[in-house]
Amino acid sequence: MEKFKLKLNNYEKSVMKLKEGTKIEEPSDIEIDGILRRYKITFELAWKTLKDYMEYQGFSNRIGSPREIIQQAFKHGIIEDGETWIKMMLSRNALSHLYDENTSRKIYKEIKKEYIELLEALIEKLKK
């Protein structure tokens, strides 16, 4: 339980920092790059926090990859939009494995438009 609480606390702080970055009116390229880096960190914390939560709740004792965790979290009603969570994972992967400015700017817009909302909703769900 302590491990989960610590991860949840770190995850919540990361989401708040990410949200703070997305509120910058006209971010510079450097600021966008920082927001994208923060997103990668936040997503990592999200799936690892989900993993700890599901293990603590007894949903599974052998869940490995982020995709498996997202699928199990959706199956158990912990997250509501499984498709967008998979899209979030793919965005994180794209940012981690290559750098293409057009792709990164598209992902930045998706973070602002839809991802931040789901990341925040997970905090509320896990706090209950």
How many domains does the chain divide into? 1
What pLDDT sits at residue 64?
83
For the stretch 29-88, pLDDT in tens is 999 999 999 999 999 999 999 999 998 888 866 678 999 999 999 999 999 999 999 999
CATH number where 36 lies: 1.20.120.330
Q: Is 68 helix (H, G, I), strand (E, B) or coil?
A: helix
**Structure tokens belonging to residue 18:** 């990410």
- Residue 105 belongs to what domain range? 2-127
Do 49 and 7 touch, CB atoms closer than 8 A?
yes
Considering just the CA atoms, what is the radius of gyration of the chain in Å?
A: 14
CA distance 128 to 124: 7
